[in-house]
Amino acid sequence: SRTFKLLADRPDALAAMFYAPDLRSVTTAVRAMADAAGLRMGGDLAERIARAAGLDTRLAQSEVTKLALYLDASPASPRSADASALEAIGARTEEDGFGALVNA
């Protein structure tokens, strides 16, 4: 990019390039996080977590951690995760509880 070219020759500058992750790689990462936390998780649920986290692996990790805590899962005592468990721990979005407040 033009900005990179302007900064590249400066001794006091650092320029780096990052690529946004794709859904498939984040889904794979979520499944690996789940395995490490002692959760058995299908690809559809892992993809749902990846999408809900906006492909942010740090946010996905916190969701996996909450899910493992909710299900009392550990590597020594693995548990199966399903959509109902994810819905139980997930924060509701859209207009679930704030519509009346906004209208007031």
What is the pLDDT, as a whole number, of residue 5?
A: 84
Q: Report the alpha-carbon distance of residue 16 to residue 8 in Å, rounded.
A: 10
Token pair for 39? 């959760």
Decide if 60 contacts 27 (C-beta within 8 A).
no
Decide if 39 contacts 78 (C-beta within 8 A).
yes
User: Residues 45-67: pLDDT tens digits?
Assistant: 999 999 999 999 999 999 999 99
User: Residues 75-100: pLDDT tens digits?
Assistant: 999 999 999 999 998 766 555 555 55
DSSP run (H or E) holding 40: strand 39-40
DSSP run (H or E) holding 79: strand 79-80
Beta-bridge partner residues of 80: 40
